[in-house]
């Protein structure tokens, strides 16, 4: 049994529309399932709330990136022009900070953007070439016009037969067992 479970990723139900998916997700969440995820061809409004997702950390990561870029950018120019390679240009002070603003600004934007994109990818665990869901043939449709809801077998409430029944009771079509092997 233990061996069986380890190869089982979860149960996947398929829905016709985004609204059906949201209704089903709310019921699954209310039934006490925690390890659930939905798969949709485009970002569906209200789905995050239906699944009970918390606020994500991308904004914080972006802020940290922006601060690092801005402060680091300015500090670097200061170090170059004041400490490492001071040059008298038309009698201006070594720390002629207004002239350092354009580069500081660009570095803020650059690092905030890099952190936003790579932070988002890292939190999402991408790149991830293999995933058990790709074993399901119909899952290809998740990138066209079908909406999927998956209850993962790691959930404490997961029970193969009961959970499958529950998904079917929510008008899910093609309830499939997702296996990882």
> Binding residues for another protein, per CB under 8 A?
18, 37-44, 47-48, 51, 53, 56, 58-59, 62, 66, 76-77, 80-81, 84-85, 87, 89, 92, 96, 99-100, 102-103, 105-107, 109-110, 112-114, 116-117, 119-121, 123-124, 126-131, 133-134, 139-145
Burial (CB count <10 Å: 0-12, 13-18, 19+), residue 135? middle
Task: Select 42 or 161, whichever has its Cβ closest to another protein.
Answer: 42
Cα 102 from Cα 82, distance rounded (Å): 18
Task: Select 2 or 98, whichever has its Cβ closest to another protein.
Answer: 98
CB of 79 to another protein, least distance (A): 9
Continuous H helices in the chain: 2-6, 18-30, 47-50, 58-78, 101-123, 160-169
CB of 21 to another protein, least distance (A): 9
CB of 3 to another protein, least distance (A): 26
CB of 37 to another protein, least distance (A): 5
Cα 4 from Cα 2, distance rounded (Å): 5
Cα 95 from Cα 81, distance rounded (Å): 7
* Cβ–Cβ under 8 Å, residues 58 and 158: no
């Amino acid at each position: 049994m233990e061996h069986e479970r380890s190869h089982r990723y979860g149960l996947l139900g398929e829905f016709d529309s985004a609204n059906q998916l949201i209704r089903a997700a709310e019921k699954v969440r209310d039934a006490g399932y925690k390890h659930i995820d939905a798969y949709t061809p485009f970002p569906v409004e209200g789905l995050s709330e239906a699944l009970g997702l918390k606020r994500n950390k991308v904004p914080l990561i972006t802020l940290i990136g922006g601060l690092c870029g801005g402060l680091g950018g300015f500090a670097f120019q200061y170090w170059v022009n004041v400490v490492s390679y001071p040059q008298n240009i038309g009698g201006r002070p070594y720390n002629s900070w207004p002239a350092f603003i354009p580069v500081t600004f660009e570095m803020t934007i650059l690092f905030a953007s890099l952190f936003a994109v790579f932070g988002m990818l890292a939190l999402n665990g991408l790149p991830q070439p293999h995933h058990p869901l790709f074993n399901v043939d119909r899952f290809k449709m998740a990138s066209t016009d079908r909406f999927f809801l998956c209850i993962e077998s790691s959930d404490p409430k997961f029970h193969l037969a009961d959970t499958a029944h529950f998904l079917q009771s929510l008008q899910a079509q093609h309830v499939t067992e997702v296996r990882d092997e």
